[in-house]
């Protein structure tokens, strides 16, 4: 049963990394578009998308750091 749990956790971690990588790419694209000359409506849309992508990435990073903290304490022997 431990192997099944480990397989699920590693798959979930890879999925999280994939989502985070995609969000980072989206953020770079939105920032690039905002540096170009856009009309006011397009600029507002991309500013909204950029803010949304950044907030989603922040949530993923916070969840990742919260889940890795017990592992860090155990690895360092502070448990």
Q: What pLDDT was estimated at residue 1?
A: 45
Cα(29)–Cα(31) distance, integer angstroms: 5
Ranges of H-type helices in the chain? 2-35, 40-76
Q: 54: which DSSP letter?
A: H
- Full-model pTM: 0.66
Assess contact for 27 and 53: CB atoms under 8 A.
Answer: yes
Q: What pLDDT was estimated at residue 55?
A: 96
- The number of distinct structural domains making up the chain is 1
Segment 32-78, tens digit of pLDDT: 999 998 899 999 999 999 999 999 999 999 988 887 656 555 555 55
Range of the domain at 51: 2-76
Segment 17-29, tens digit of pLDDT: 888 999 999 999 9
The closest alpha carbon to 28, from 53, 11, 5, 56, belongs to: 53
- Whose tokens are 């500013």? That residue is 47
Assess contact for 21 and 5: CB atoms under 8 A.
Answer: no
């Amino acid at each position: 049963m431990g192997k099944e749990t480990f397989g699920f956790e590693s798959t979930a971690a890879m999925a999280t990394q994939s989502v985070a990588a995609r969000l980072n790419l989206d953020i770079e694209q939105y920032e690039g578009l905002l540096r170009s000359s856009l009309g006011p409506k397009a600029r507002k849309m991309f500013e909204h998308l950029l803010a949304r992508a950044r907030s989603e990435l922040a949530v993923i990073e916070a969840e990742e750091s919260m889940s890795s903290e017990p592992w860090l304490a155990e690895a360092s022997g502070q448990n």
